[in-house]
Amino acid sequence: MKIQTTRFGEVEISDNQIISMPSGILGFSAEHHFVILEEEAGGPFEWFQSIETPGLAFVMIDPNFVASDYEFEVSDEQMKKIDAQVEEDISVRVLITIAREFKDTTVNLQGPILFNLKKRLGMQLVIPDGRYSTRQPLFGDRLSMPPEAEPAQGKGSESTRQQAIA
């Protein structure tokens, strides 16, 4: 089957690539069918392209690229929604919001997308406890610091670092 996209033009996909999102994505609840498209060059970024709306695609990434300690609980009810038997059946991605200046790009760690890629089902989960942000910087604080302001390894202090950022 061929789908039309605004970013990639016409794309050939097979039926077994289509992921159903019965509840959609927050703000896009009417969108239920997507496909994951990867950049030809590879890398950590993927596109979550609607097959129904050519102009609707989200950039996503494995959350471990952003927060190595990222974790949350998945309830039995949530597991059932994506027909997962064990947690190993689940693949997790987070959506990226690209800012005007790329260094200001953020990720939504509060609303991860859970996929059961074997069953081609997905759902967006909202982590309600407030420990994760919808606007977590993709690159962290060190990227926004000018290179000359970086403390030398083993030297400097937190107050020096704060002054350099301010």
- pLDDT one-digit tens code per residue, 9-48: 999 999 999 999 999 999 999 999 999 998 777 788 999 9
pLDDT digits (tens, 9 = 90+) for 85-106: 999 999 999 999 998 988 899 9
**CA 97 → CA 1, 35, 61, 75, 107, distances in Å?**
29, 19, 11, 27, 6
159: enclosing H helix or E strand = helix 158-165
Residue 163: what pLDDT? 30
Q: What is the pLDDT of residue 142?
A: 34
What average pLDDT score do residues 124-139 get?
91
What pLDDT score does 77 carry?
96
Q: Tens digit of pLDDT for each residue in 53-90?
A: 999 999 999 999 888 899 999 999 999 999 999 999 99
In this predicted structure, what is the pLDDT of residue 140?
Answer: 65
* Architecture, CATH, for domain 2-139: Roll (2.30)
Q: 105, 108, 110: which is closest to 132 by C-alpha?
A: 110
